[in-house]
Structure 1
Amino acid sequence: MLRRARSGFVRAYERLLHREGEVGEGPSHVAIIQDGNRRYARSQGDDAPEGHRAGARTTEQVSEWCKELGVEELTLYTFSTENFERPPEEREPLFDLIEDKLYEFADAERVHDGNIRIRAIGDIERLPERVREAVDYAEARTADYDELTLNVALAYGGRNELLRAARDVATAVKEEGLDPEEVTAEEVERRLYRGSVRDVDLIIRTGGDERTSNFLPWHANGNEAAVYFCAPYWPEFSKVDLLRGIRTYQSREASWQRTRTERAVALVRAIAGVELEEASTVAARLREQLPSGGAKQVSAELERQDATE
């Protein structure tokens, strides 16, 4: 009876978070640091591989939840460059699991029915050949899908990614005649792991630690992504936790949009006090950059200034 009551409460809370989430636009790209698999296994009296297998089941659920919620890109921090330092008795079963899951995902009906594209990002050449073959298989099987992109970060390290891109740019300047003045953000971005990844809107980290662990620094830090830290270990991560993360993103986004609108209105007010025609030109540019509500406030301020002339 207690279990049924708890289940009913969770469903009701999910509905509440869903309704709150409908108020604002959700994130397009969610990136998750899947922390706590080993600690979960220890808490259950199991070895680390059991925790990783439990975490893999959560991964399947989260991809389905994200698709349901309209997320267009999901990146999972599955194996970092630091993970190579783990002992072989832990590392090898993890490679086995990653290999198995890539094949399983690539052949799953839900992946094909849902138009989910699987893509690996990271220093893939450092992985065992069997894992690289699984990556190639999963990417080839799902290459034409575009409803949800599932990025699996393997042998990934943000500092290494930026270092490699910097070296590639330096080589292009030295050997290919690239003008240093023509080194743009786009020029750097196309040299990052496996091509284009859209900017990250929300990073979620499970397991209780409050750090982003060198994850997607170009795409997350550069986009000022919202960050949501939560206590559950990755195998315990629930849809409620995901919805709370999305609510954090929406609250941050709403606050940011309010700040932008307030600054735009203040700018129009300041310029109109000196030159109304110039204020009209500035207001027109600002309205293009603001959400509809902010654009209306800028227009209202311009009309108010015009009326006082």
Structure 2
Amino acid sequence: MDPSDECLKLSSQNTLPRHVAIIMDGNSRWAEAKSLPRVAGHKEGAQAVKRCIQGAIRNDIQWLTLYAFSSENWRRTPEEVADLTALLRFYLKFEARKLHKEGVRVRIIGDSKRFDPKLQKQFDEIEALTKNNTRLILTLALSYGGRGEIIQAVQRIVQDVQAQQIDPEQITEDLFSNYLFAPDVPDPDLIVRTSGESRLSNFLLWQSAYAELIFVETLWPDFNEDHFNDILSVYIRRERRFGTRPGLKISDK
């Protein structure tokens, strides 16, 4: 079946997620299974990113967040970190204008200051280039950790309390959310992890409170538009209840 035909079928259900977040896992295992160096898995994983973005665009997904480089990734060998950052630099350089042409807005969340200044400049450039695009909001989580994001939010709230800009009694879930990296991005409706692992690995811990979770066996480098359509098919068959009365669906919230 042509991917576009499947997308039309899914879109007609009118229950697609607004925001899909993906933990892209399995690059190294993909390379090892083929007796290739790890960097080969990361390179093929970058191709899967392109296919995933096209799947999101075809299905009119509004927000897509990709876990591209975790805060824990800095613990990998210097050689692998260098490969990952070099690939990231290459991807941003050659995909920026393509994404802009597609109407994709790119945003970066995480502790980006840990990257070298040249890469930080690329982050700024792609965000500035695409800032007015609305077809798809693509958030790249880079040097990102959910616990770190929460700690940073707490630190900023404490500073504002000490400066008497807010009263402790004013602190609510909504206010707390305003101190996260991307407060204007809605919480993900759906979080997907590839490679058969069944954990969040420090990804969007606050935002994932009511997200639907789907874990698939496919290694990330093999992920394509058909896989993207499959996870959407699973999602639209689920009934979301948000911890309240039985039968409460997302449309009732």
State the TM-score, normalized to the length of structure 2.
Answer: 0.91
Over the residues paired in the alignment, what is the CA RMSD in angstroms?
2.4
Is residue 174 from structure 1 mapped to residue 136 from structure 2 by the alignment? no
Is residue 232 from structure 1 mapped to residue 225 from structure 2 by the alignment? no
Is residue 127 from structure 1 mapped to residue 82 from structure 2 by the alignment? no
> How far apart are 1:106 and its partner, in Å?
1.4
CA distance in 1, matches of 2:217, 2:119: 31
2:148 corresponds to which residue? 160
CA distance in 1, matches of 2:252, 2:186: 21
Is residue 250 from structure 1 mapped to residue 236 from structure 2 by the alignment? yes
1:64 corresponds to which residue? 54
Contact 2:190 2:211 in 1 (8 A): yes
Matched-pair identity in % = 33
Contact 1:14 1:243 in 2 (8 A): no
Contact 1:35 1:206 in 2 (8 A): yes
Name whichever of 18-27 and 179-188 sits farther off: 18-27
Is residue 92 from structure 1 mapped to residue 54 from structure 2 by the alignment? no
Contact 1:120 1:194 in 2 (8 A): no
1:49 corresponds to which residue? 39
Among candidates 241, 246, 249, match of residue 227 of structure 2: 241
1:217 corresponds to which residue? 205
Name whichever of 50-59 and 179-188 sits farther off: 179-188
Amino acid across the alignment from 1:248: V
Is residue 290 from structure 1 mapped to residue 233 from structure 2 by the alignment? no
CA distance in 1, matches of 2:159, 2:13: 48
1:191 corresponds to which residue? 179
Amino acid across the alignment from 1:103: K
> For each residue in 1:223-266, what CA deviation from the matched residue of structure 2 results, as whole angstroms up to 9, or x when unmatched?
x111111111101012222122112221223x649x857579xx
> How far apart are 1:115 and its partner, in Å?
1.2
| Alpha-carbon spacing, 1:146–1:41, altered in 2? closer, same or farther (3 Å) | same
Q: Any unmatched runs of 5+ in structure 1? A: 1-10, 265-288, 292-309
Answer 1 or 2: higher relative contact order, Cα 8 Å, separation at least 6: 2
The structure that has the greater radius of gyration is 1
Amino acid across the alignment from 1:43: A
Contact 1:118 1:149 in 2 (8 A): yes
Q: Any unmatched runs of 5+ in structure 2? A: none
Is residue 35 from structure 1 mapped to residue 25 from structure 2 by the alignment? yes
Aligned length: 251
CA distance in 2, matches of 1:136, 1:41: 31
CA distance in 2, matches of 1:179, 1:219: 24
